[in-house]
Amino acid sequence: MFSRSFLFYKFPPSGGGMENIMNLILLGAPGAGKGTQAEVISKTLGIPQISTGNILREAVKNGTECGLKAKSFMDSGALVPDDVVIGILKDRIAEDDCKNGFILDGFPRTVPQAEALEAMGVRIDKVIEIDVPDEDIKNRIGGRRVCEKCGASYHVSFKPTKVEGICDSCGGNTVQRKDDAPETVIERLKTYHETTAPLVDFYKNLGKLTTVVGKPTVEATSELMLAAIKA
Ligand code: AMP
C-alpha cells in the first residue's frame, strides 16, 4: 500500500511545468529498484517505462536474431554490446507512445550509450540515481521475481504478488531470473561499478543528476523519487 502522503502527492497539471521534465533516466545497480520505481513513475506521469532488460528478455524468449546475440552475455551477467542495445533503444523511442516522454530503466549502461543518446538529439530532462549499498543489493535480489509473460517485477517481501507465483497484472507465472543467481549477481555488480557507475559523473557534469537513497520500502523510495522529479 502507498502511504497517505504518496497518494496525495500532487503534480502540476499539464501546462504547469511538468511538460519540460518528461524524458527521464533511472540509474542504479541491478536490484536497486529501478524497474519497480519506473512502474510507479510510469503510472503516475502516464509515460511509458522502457526497460532494455525486458526488451532483451522478450527477444531471447522469442528466439529473434537480436535475442540470440544477447543471450550468452545476459546469462553470464555481462553487458550486451552497445551497438545491439543502442539499435533497440532507438527503435523503441521512435514509437508513438514516447512522444510525451518516457522513463529509461537500464539504459544507458555505458558512457558510449549515453553519448549515443546525445548524438541522436534525445533531450534528457532528469537522471535519477537510486543508491543502494552492494550488501543490501545481494540480500534484496534473492527475493526478486519477474513475470515470465509481461515482465512485471515483484519481490517476495517488499512487493509480493497477491497470489503466490502469479502476476497481478496478467496472470502469468512469476519466476526468479536466471541472472539473479548469487554468482551472476556478483559479476553484474562488478560490471555496474566498472562500466555503468561512470554515468553518475557524466550526468552530474551535465547538471541533470539527482541521487535518491533507496529506502527499505517501495513507497518510501517512490516519494523521494517523485519529489526529485518535481524539484
Ligand atoms: P536488467 O533487466 O536491466 O537488469 O538487464 C538484464 C541484462 O540485460 C543485463 O545484465 C545485460 O546483460 C542486458 N542489458 C540490459 N540493458 C542493457 C544495456 N543498456 N546495455 C547492455 N546490456 C544491457
Residue 28: phi and psi, rounded to 5, are 155, 160
Can you give the pLDDT at residue 191?
Answer: 94
Q: Is the CB of 229 inside a 6 Å radius of any atom of ligand 1?
A: no
Question: Of all atoms in ligand 1, which is nearest to the CA of residue 31?
Answer: 4
Predicted confidence at residue 8, as pLDDT, reads 41
Q: What does the CA dihedral 50, 56, 58, 61 come to, rounded to 10 degrees? A: -170
Full strand arrangement of the beta sheet holding 144-147: 153-155, 144-147, 174-175
Query: Residues 159-194: pLDDT tens digits?
Result: 899 999 999 999 999 999 888 988 899 999 999 999
Annotated active-site residue 177? The verdict is yes
Residue 18 exposed, middle or buried by CB count within 10 Å (0-12, 13-18, 19+): middle
CA of 106 to the centre of ligand 1 (A): 6
Determine contact, residues 3/219, Cβ cutoff 8 Å: yes
The segments of the chain whose pLDDT lies below 50 read: 1-19, 21
* Element of type H or E holding 75: helix 65-76
Q: Where are the beta strands (DSSP E) in 29-143?
A: 49-51, 102-105, 126-131
Does residue 114 line the site of ligand 1, with CB under 6 A? no
Write down the pLDDT at residue 151. Answer: 85
Residue 101: its pLDDT value, please? 94
> Is 188 labeled as catalytic in the residue annotation?
yes
Q: Return the pLDDT at 157.
A: 87
Q: Does 107 sit in the ligand 1 pocket, CB within 6 Å? A: yes
4 as an active site residue: the answer is no
The pTM of the full predicted model, rounded to 2 decimals, is 0.86
pLDDT tens digits for range 204-221: 999 999 999 999 888 999
Tell me, in angstroms, the distance from the centre of ligand 1 to residue 11's CA.
31
Q: What is the CA radius of gyration of the chain?
A: 17
> What does the DSSP 8-state code read for residue 194?
I
